[in-house]
A and B are shown apart, each in its own frame.
Chain A
Amino acid sequence: MSTEPSAGGAPAATAAPPEGAPKLAGEALAADALLAIPIFKGISKSLLEKNAGAVSRRRFKKGELICREGDFGSTAFYVLSGKVEVYIATPMAHVKTSGGVRGFFQKLKSFLVSKREDPRDARDDRLIPIDAPIDLPFLHPQAQLGEGELFGEMTCMSRYPRSATVRAAEDCEMLEMLSNILSLLLKNPAFKDKADKNYRERALEQHLRSLPILKGLSSEFIDRLRSKVELVRYDPGQVIFRQGDPSDAFYLVRIGFVKVSQQAPGGDVVLAYSERGSHFGEMGILAQVPRGATCTALDHVELVRIPADDFRSLVNEYPNIRQAMELVTRARQAESIQRLAITQSVPLEAFLEQGLMEAQNLLLLDLDRCTRCDECVRACASAHDGVTRLIRVGLRFDRYLVPTSCRTCRDPLCMIGCPVGAIRRRHSLEIVIEDWCIGCGVCAKGCPYGNITMHPFNVDEPDPKNPGTVKAVMKKKATTCDLCTEHAQPACVAACPHEAAMRVAPHAFFSEQLSTGQPPTGRAAKEGNPAPGSKP
């Protein structure tokens, strides 16, 4: 019963856009009743009548579950009265094997090889971005939302899984709505003003401070900014600005994903996906040059726009911010130059066909050397708390097997859609999944190569039926190859006794084959399928 809202939306989410609106639980509201609510003021009655049934009023008792993290849904919630508690219940952990005798030996082995815990960036003041006006602090991922606040926007508009669990903190009343109502609402000046106001008052400061480079801001400055910032919305596919446009604003991402791409011979190259909490557009402003990249909204995006003049005065006032900003800028510039250089140096067609061009760092097994002893998989498991991130099957390219292991794509499709921003790139381009992964599986679906796997593991969770007790629950978390960056060599490569396993930059490794413009053998196309009966 507690999961009802999301359960109601689930089928629609997996199948088709919610045209025939699913039946919402709770008390359906008529257009008149809606218009009585301040935020609906100004919307034409006929529009509301057309969308009858797409919004309902729901009442929750204290402690009742409103939605659960990782579930799929298609509704957003607007708090009419009362307070709700927002938190991430999944324990902060990555997947590990359970104990037992084998576990002991694994531990012994890990000890012998001086293996550290799978490291994550230890920054305790991090914020976990969620689908609500506020972010959750890393150490204690819990917050409260009150009257007049909206959450579940991304779920509703872009079908992301719920990013957090919401429970009624007291008896409360809320509006649950489908995307058609929500978009009406979002376009409604009455709501927009309220939302802007809300944001300015409540979230702006936290949001700004959540950016590491803006940490040193004084409260007065934020007060000054309050009136200047603007919340802007973009629809999926809408271009925010293009490469070569004048640099007129700095953006913070509040909701959704923004693709940052650059023109390159052979097509655009994706430089980054900016998710909630990240920023872009500073480069042109600081250097006072036109935009160096095109930014496109991937889904329903809400941005915080800071005009260029204000941004400039901000950085001028805070030299340390300027410094940090320039540092980031330089790193980004170097990275994009490097990437463009890579893409320019190889003939694209042949490689793109293989799907290997996407890869920056590819695990290859030389099949002429590999004795199929499976040591690489075992090494991977032993290096990652007993969970392998490498599956020794895949397609072949030349005499190499490209096994299932992260290839750190240039265009990391897996990073699109994480509702909690747990998947991201780290310094050496490897993709890492943070401990607060809620196991929704969006990244695993997003990866075209099956390189992200959802591993089940047991956790103790408070039993909602018998408060105060815990029960073992099977949870899933995503894992992917982290390139073993804490070691000199990836575990799989180091463990290969026959020097068959290697991590290579494919464009350089296959440069010889690429220079001929043809893959050496035709037997390993990306969606390859050996012609029936072509070879016994």
Chain B
Amino acid sequence: MILFCGLLGVRKKVPTWRLGNAAFWLRAHIWLGVLSVPMILFHAGFAVGGALTQALMILLAIVVASGIHGLVLQQFLPRLMTNQVETETTYEQIPHVLEQLRAEAIEVVESVCGPLQAPPEESVAPPDPSDPSAPAKPAAKSKGKTAGPVEGSGPLKDFYLRTIQDFMAADRLGNQILATPARARAHFAHLRKILPPALQDPAGRLEEICNERLGMETQIKLHHWLHGWLFLHAPLSGVLILLTVVHALMSFKF
């Protein structure tokens, strides 16, 4: 039975692919994990024993509880994310994509308002020079309009400088005006009302960019919910395995 516990640990160490697919492993992991609770309880005879075995019991409880917690979260959070975040991207690349969104926003504004006074240098230059295609694309499309400020573009520029710039640059959205979907919608609706027809399209694009930024925030939050429990589960599993081995060794010794 001690070996059983160890097996659970060793199994997780094996690289997941090609030794049966990962879904099989996950299923086995869940069932064996749940099964290990009664097994270990019987092994212990429903007594907690000394300090080490007490620690083992508590660890097992936390690990199993966090695992079940994660399992439950995984049942509905993906759907939530699918529904709430339309413009999902790869989580690890959010900062990178965000840079490009910033650049794109500046591009949109500059295409109709003329160059901004002093755009922060780092947000204009795409961070990765080897991948200039994305920011370059909108530029190519709007090349014809770069000549100078389009008439009536003042409000757009103001709105960008006062609101969007901070919104795009902020690490945490906090209580930014655009961080609330309803308020953002109202602001953009207002902006559209006061802009000439020629500028409706850039405004729409800006709104999309801001929506995408907002989606990223939701995505980050959900992603943390979806994977945060692992911070408890994985390290404590490591401890559990270590202590189980010690426990096994000591019980063989004595």
Contact = CB atoms under 8 A, between A and B. Distances in A.
Given A371-B77, A532-B207, A498 B23 contact: yes
B92 interface: yes
Given A374-B92, A392-B90, A368 B78 contact: yes
B26 A498 contact: yes
Interface string B23-40: 101100000000000000
Contacts of B26: 497-498
B227 interface: yes
Interface string B89-126: 11110000000000000000000000000000000000
Contact of B81 (A372, A532, A533): A372
Contacts of A491: 17
Nearest to A111: B15
Interface stretch (A112-120, A219-227, A235-243, A325-333): A112-120
Nearest to A383: B17
B45 to A, nearest CB: 34
Contact of B181 (A109, A113, A382, A536): A536
Interface bracket on A: 35 or more
Interface in B169-228: 181-182, 184-185, 188-189, 204, 207-208, 211, 214, 223, 226-227
B130 A371 contact: no
A150 B15 CA distance: 55
Contacts of A399: 82
Interface string A358-377: 00000000011111111101
A530 B88 CA distance: 13
A495 B15 CA distance: 10
A536 B185 contact: yes
Nearest to A534: B86
Given A371-B78, A372-B91, A372-B223, A112 B15 contact: yes
Given A393-B89, A532-B207, A382 B23 contact: no
Given A393-B90, A489-B21, A371 B226 contact: yes
Contacts of B78: 367-372, 498, 500
Contacts of A401: 88
A282 to B, nearest CB: 42
A396 B81 CA distance: 13
B163 interface: no
Interface residues of B, number: 39
B82 A497 contact: no
B204 to A, nearest CB: 4
Chain A interface, DSSP helix/strand/loop, else mixed:
loop
A523 interface: yes
A77 B155 CA distance: 58
Contact of B15 (A113, A371, A396): A113
B228 to A, nearest CB: 12
Nearest to B76: A368
Nearest to A115: B18
Nearest to A376: B22
Contacts of A456: 130
Contact of A530 (B18, B77, B86, B226): B86
Interface of B: 14-19, 21-23, 25-26, 74, 77-79, 81-82, 86-92, 130, 181-182, 184-185, 188-189, 204, 207-208, 211, 214, 223, 226-227
9 contacts: A370-B78, A371-B78, A374-B90, A375-B22, A392-B90, A393-B90, A496-B21, A530-B87, A533-B211
Given A372-B223, A374-B90, 16 more contacts: A112-B14, A367-B79, A367-B81, A369-B78, A372-B91, A373-B227, A374-B92, A379-B22, A393-B90, A456-B130, A494-B18, A532-B207, A533-B188, A533-B189, A536-B182, A536-B185
Across the A-B interface, the 4 shortest Cβ-Cβ residue pairs? A536-B181, A497-B26, A113-B18, A367-B82
